[in-house]
C-alpha cells in the first residue's frame, strides 16, 4: 500500500530544508506520493506580484519578480553549486517572465491562479532536479493534469470522478516508487490552472490519499504534532497524541491553522489515518487522526483567531430577525464569499465574526441599505474546546469580552 507525504513551505524554505526533506523521503520503505508546497513564504510573495501585475504597477512587478527569482536561485546555488543548476526551474522562470510581459485579463482571480501557481511549480521542479542529482529516484507529475476542478478560481471544487480516473492512470508505481507533485493546484477541463484555497496543499494530499486508497497520509510540519494551542501565542502548548476525525474537523473548522479544514473529510470517508509529524524531529511520534472518540489528552484546546471584525446588524424598522431577514443577511455574506467564524442572533440583532478582508467594506455598505450596522475591528475570537472554568478565567482575565457563546463542549469569546 502506498503512503502520501506532504511537506509545506516551511519545510523547504532553504537548501538545508530540501536536504532534510530528501532524508525523510529516503527513509520511507513504502511507495510514496510526495506533495510539496511553494518554498517558504513564496505564496505571499506571488500574491503581491499578482497585485502589481494586475494593477499594472510595472516597476514593483519587476522588482517582486526579481526578488522571487533570486530567492529560488539562492536555494538552487546552495543545492547544486550553481544558480542555473535546475533546468526545470530555468524553464519555468522563463514562462513566468513571458506571462508577466502580457497584459492581464480583467479577471483577478483567474490571473491570481495562473501566477501564484508558479510557487508550487518552482518548488517541485527544483526538488525533482535535486533528487535526480543525488540519486533519489522520482517521477515529477504536473498535478494540474490529473487533479481536475471547476473554474472557481482561488477556491476551486474538485471533480472527483475524473480526478480519480486520471490519478489511477498516473500513479501506477510500475517504474518508480516515488512520485513528486504540487500541492494547492488543480486544472480545469480546458487545462487552465486553478488553486484550492490558501494552505490547500494538505487537502491535495488528502485527495491523493483518498483516490489511491493510501495506507496513511502524513503531513510534515514544524511542530511535533497537533498541539492544544498554537505555540506561537501559547508557550505551554502540549501535544495531542490521538484525535478523532470529528474532533480534528471541529478544530480546523474553528481555525486551528495546523490542518486545512477540507483535508479530513475524504480521509474519514475511507478511514485513512492522518499523521501530523515534525520534519525537525521525524522520528517523533506525532499526532494520529483516526477513528476513535474525542481527544486523547484531557486538556482544554485553544484556538485563537486574530484581526477579526465583529459586526452587529439590526433592522432599521425594528422588525425581528426572523428567517427572511436571516436569509437576506446570509445571502450578502455568501455573495462576498465572506466566511463567518461565529454567528449569533437575538430578536433584534444578528452578530457575526469574520476575517477582515478586501470585501469587508463592500459587505458593510450593502448591509447598511436595510440594517443599522455596528462593528469593531481588530478583535480576537477565542474558542476553547473541552473548556474548564480555570481555562476560561486564564484566557479572558483582563480582557474586555464583547460577546460569548457557550455550549456543552465549546466556549467562545469575542475579546478586545
Ligand atoms: N493546534 C495547533 N497545533 C500545532 N500547530 C498549530 C496549531 N495551531 C496553529 N498551529 C500553527 O501551525 C503551524 C503549522 O502549520 P502551517 O504553517 O500551515 O504548516 P505548513 O506550511 O507546513 O502547511 C505551526 O507552526 C503552528 O504555529
Ligand atoms: N503554498 C500555498 C499552499 C499551502 O498549503 O502551503 P503550506 O503547505 O506552506 O501552508 C499557500 O501558502 O497557501
**Quick one: pLDDT at residue 316?**
85
Q: CA–CA separation, 77 vs 74, rounded Å? A: 5
Distance 84 CA to ligand 1 centre (A): 33
Position 306 confidence tier, pLDDT thresholds 50, 70, 90 = very high
Which CATH number does 3-221 carry? 3.40.1160.10
Contact 37, 7 (CB under 8 A): yes
Ligand 2, residue 197: give the atom nearest the CA: 13
Distance 202 CA to ligand 2 centre (A): 8
**Quick one: pLDDT at residue 357?**
86
Query: CATH 3.40.1160.10 occupies which residues in the chain?
Result: 3-221
96 pLDDT higher than 90? yes
256 pLDDT higher than 90? no
Contact 208, 4 (CB under 8 A): yes
Angle between helices 42-54 and 118-133 (to 10 degrees): 140
Position 366 confidence tier, pLDDT thresholds 50, 70, 90 = very high
* Cβ neighbours around 272 below 10 Å, total: 24
Residue-wise pLDDT for 236-249, tens only, equals 999 999 999 999 99
Q: Is the CB of 238 under 6 A from ligand 1?
A: no
Residue-wise pLDDT for 19-41, tens only, equals 999 999 999 999 999 999 999 99
Which CATH number fits the domain 301-415, given the four candidates 2.60.40.420, 2.60.40.10, 3.40.50.10680, 3.30.2130.10? 3.30.2130.10
Residue-wise pLDDT for 261-295, tens only, equals 899 999 999 999 999 999 999 999 999 999 988 88
Tell me the sheet residues that pair with 3.
32, 216
Average pLDDT, rounded, for the chain? 95
Q: Pairing between strand 193-195 and 185-187?
A: antiparallel
364 pLDDT higher than 90? yes
260 pLDDT higher than 90? no
Residue-wise pLDDT for 309-356, tens only, equals 999 999 888 788 888 889 999 999 999 989 999 999 888 899 999 999
Distance 178 CA to ligand 2 centre (A): 21
Q: Is the CB of 258 under 6 A from ligand 1?
A: yes
Q: Work out the average pLDDT over 405-416.
A: 95
**Quick one: pLDDT at residue 12?**
98
Percentage of the chain modeled with pLDDT above 70: 100
pTM: 0.92
Residue-wise pLDDT for 137-167, tens only, equals 999 999 999 999 999 999 999 999 999 999 9
Q: CA–CA separation, 70 vs 155, rounded Å? A: 29
Distance 350 CA to ligand 2 centre (A): 34
Query: CATH 3.30.2130.10 occupies which residues in the chain?
Result: 301-415
C-alpha cell recorded at residue 25: 523521503
372 pLDDT higher than 90? yes
Q: Is the CB of 186 under 6 A from ligand 2?
A: no
Contact 207, 196 (CB under 8 A): no
Amino acid at each position: 500500500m502506498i503512503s502520501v507525504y506532504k511537506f509545506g513551505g516551511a519545510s523547504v524554505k532553504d537548501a538545508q530544508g530540501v536536504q532534510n526533506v530528501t532524508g525523510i523521503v529516503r527513509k520511507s520503505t513504502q511507495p510514496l506520493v510526495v506533495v510539496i508546497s511553494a518554498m517558504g513564504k513564496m505564496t505571499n510573495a506571488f500574491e503581491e506580484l499578482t497585485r502589481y501585475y494586475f494593477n499594472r504597477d510595472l516597476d514593483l512587478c519587476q522588482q517582486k519578480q526579481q526578488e522571487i527569482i533570486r530567492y529560488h536561485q539562492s536555494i538552487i546555488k546552495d543545492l547544486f553549486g550553481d544558480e542555473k543548476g535546475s533546468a526545470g526551474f530555468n524553464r519555468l522562470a522563463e514562462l513566468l517572465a513571458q506571462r508577466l510581459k502580457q497584459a492581464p485579463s480583467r479577471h483577478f482571480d483567474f490571473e491570481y491562479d495562473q501566477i501564484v501557481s508558479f510557487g508550487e511549480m518552482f518548488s517541485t521542479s527544483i526538488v525533482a532536479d535535486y533528487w535526480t542529482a543525488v540519486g533519489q529516484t522520482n517521477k515529477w507529475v504536473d498535478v494540474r493534469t490529473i487533479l481536475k476542478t471547476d473554474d472557481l478560481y482561488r477556491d476551486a471544487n474538485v471533480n472527483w470522478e475524473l480526478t480519480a480516473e486520471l490519478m489511477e492512470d498516473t500513479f501506477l508505481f510500475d517504474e518508480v516508487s516515488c512520485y513528486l507533485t504540487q500541492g494547492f493546484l488543480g486544472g480545469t477541463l480546458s487545462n487552465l490552472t486553478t488553486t484550492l484555497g490558501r494552505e490547500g496543499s494538505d487537502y491535495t494530499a488528502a485527495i491523493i490519499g483518498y483516490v489511491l486508497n493510501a495506507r496513511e497520509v502524513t503531513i510534515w510540519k514544524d511542530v511535533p504534532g497537533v498541539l492544544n494551542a498554537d505555540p506561537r501565542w501559547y508557550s505551554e502548548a502540549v501535544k495531542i497524541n490521538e484525535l478523532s476525525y470529528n474532533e480534528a474537523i471541529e478544530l480546523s473548522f474553528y481555525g486551528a491553522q495546523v490542518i486545512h479544514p477540507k483535508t479530513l473529510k475524504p480521509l474519514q470517508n475511507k478511514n485513512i489515518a492522518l499523521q501530523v509529524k515534525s520534519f525537525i524531529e521525524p522520528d517523533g511520534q506525532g499526532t494520529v487522526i483516526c477513528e476513535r472518540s474525542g481527544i486523547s489528552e484531557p486538556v482544554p484546546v485553544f484556538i485563537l483567531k486574530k484581526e477579526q471584525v465583529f459586526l452587529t446588524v439590526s433592522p432599521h424598522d425594528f422588525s425581528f430577525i426572523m428567517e427572511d431577514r436571516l436569509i437576506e443577511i446570509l445571502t450578502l455574506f455568501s455573495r462576498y464569499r465572506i466566511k463567518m467564524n461565529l454567528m449569533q442572533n437575538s430578536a433584534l440583532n444578528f452578530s457575526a465574526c469574520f476575517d477582515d478582508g478586501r470585501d469587508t467594506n463592500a459587505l458593510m455598505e450593502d448591509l447598511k441599505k436595510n440594517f443599522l450596522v455596528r462593528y469593531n475591528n481588530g478583535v480576537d475570537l477565542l474558542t476553547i474546546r473541552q473548556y474548564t472554568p480555570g481555562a476560561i478565567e486564564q484566557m479572558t482575565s483582563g480582557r474586555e469580552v464583547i460577546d460569548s457563546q457557550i455550549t456543552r463542549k465549546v466556549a467562545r469569546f469575542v475579546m478586545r
